[in-house]
Amino acid sequence: MDAIELVDLTKIFPGKKGARVKALDHLDLRVPQGEVFGFLGPNGAGKSTTIKILMGLIRPTQGQARLLGTPATLPQARLTTGYLPENPAFYDYLNASEYLTFIGQSFKLDTTTIAARSETILHRLSLWEARKRPIRSYSKGMVQRLGIAQVLVHQPEIYILDEPMSGLDPIGRALVKEIILELKAAGKCVFFSTHITSDVEAVCDRVGVILKGKLQTVQEVGTLMEKGITGYHIRHRMPGQEIFKESTIRPEELQVFMTNIFQSGEEVILLEPLRKNLEAFFLSIVSQGSSNDQ
Ligand SMILES: Nc1ncnc2c1ncn2[C@@H]1O[C@H](COP(=O)(O)OP(=O)(O)O)[C@@H](O)[C@H]1O
Ligand SMILES: [Mg+2]
């Protein structure tokens, strides 16, 4: 059974003056348990709409969404799911400690479990010092980190995170990536939206690119990175010499080039693949998608 299943998902919002906004257009996607999936797309692509349908916050016009086989419209689908909204808002007169207790109680955890988990999580997200201060006094980054914290309390099987790295400084981003990789190691499914390709490169098994409500492509990130090799950069020199040579060659030249180097007795100091990064791949899909409209 897949962790996430989206079948023929379509959402039409009523727009201004009777116009209709097609936010999702027959989207099909399955994400197995244990996978980290990056949902990549520009602003307005339909990422949050998909996520809100998955969390049962809005209903699709057509199609179905299921979490571990349970329709997303049923409340029990939420029991095994953690959700970070795009712009998390909290009862800001509470402090972080109280908020996590409230979340733990909502999931019917006992007091001892809530206290133990809260302590670990608050330390992990650097909120321990601030835990007794009202949330209203928190910075944007702290609020975002509390958003991540509240997802972890009930230790769900599936994590649905709407732009989890947004509003965080580099340390916060690195921490969130580390947490995502730990969840993956624990066999959980993490589905997160982003418009930043380097976040996908760092943690995802697969990436799906969404544009104007349509899923353009789903790819293995590892394969994409391999396919993207455009050449090699090689630093080499004769043994005992101070000065080294730098060469940049095309992929098909590698074998002959390396054979020549070894035959001439040179040593290789660095061999680095040059690749078209995920950013270039993403941009090419976005520009193709836009030109298809015309
Ligand atoms: N409640 C709504 N009413 C009308 N249009 C909406 C509503 N929510 C989203 N949209 C529109 O649906 C499209 C997709 O939005 P969204 O899913 O928020 O995109 P993303 O999260 O990828 O930035 C956008 O054109 C947006 O304006
Ligand atoms: Mg969004």
Which tokens go with 32? 């197995």
Ligand nearest to the backbone CA of 166: 2
Say how many C-beta atoms besides its own lie within 10 A of residue 169's C-beta. Answer: 12
What is the predicted pLDDT for the residue at 240? 87
pLDDT digits (tens, 9 = 90+) for 216-254: 999 999 888 877 788 899 999 998 888 999 999 999 999
Ligand nearest to the backbone CA of 16: 1
13 Cβ closer than 6 Å to some ligand 1 atom: yes
- 267 in Cβ contact with 275 (< 8 Å): no
Under CATH, domain 4-219 is a member of which superfamily?
P-loop containing nucleotide triphosphate hydrolases (3.40.50.300)
Output the pTM of the full model. Answer: 0.86
Cα 86 to ligand 2 centre (Å): 6
pLDDT digits (tens, 9 = 90+) for 156-204: 999 999 999 998 999 999 999 999 999 999 999 999 999 988 899 889 9
38 Cβ closer than 6 Å to some ligand 1 atom: no
pLDDT digits (tens, 9 = 90+) for 20-44: 999 999 999 999 999 999 999 999 9
Index of the ligand 1 atom closest to the CA of residue 50: 17
- 41 in Cβ contact with 211 (< 8 Å): yes
The CA distance from 185 to 45, in Å, is 30
Which of 25, 49, 86 best tests ligand 1's pocket when mutated (most atoms within 8 Å of CB)?
49
What is the predicted pLDDT for the residue at 208? 96
The predicted model gives 49-68 an average pLDDT of 97
What is the predicted pLDDT for the residue at 276? 77
Q: Where are the domains of the chain?
A: 4-219, 229-275
CATH architecture of 229-275: 2-Layer Sandwich (3.30)
The predicted model gives 58-75 an average pLDDT of 97
Q: Which residues contact 284 (CB under 8 A, 6 or more apart)?
A: none
Residue 31 pairs with which residues in a beta bridge? 4
What is the predicted pLDDT for the residue at 228? 74
pLDDT digits (tens, 9 = 90+) for 245-261: 999 999 999 999 999 99
The answer on pLDDT for 132 being more than 90 is yes
69 Cβ closer than 6 Å to some ligand 1 atom: no
Cite the DSSP H helix spans in the chain.
47-54, 96-106, 111-124, 140-152, 170-185, 197-203, 221-227, 254-263, 278-292
What is the predicted pLDDT for the residue at 294? 46
71 Cβ closer than 6 Å to some ligand 1 atom: no
DSSP 95: B
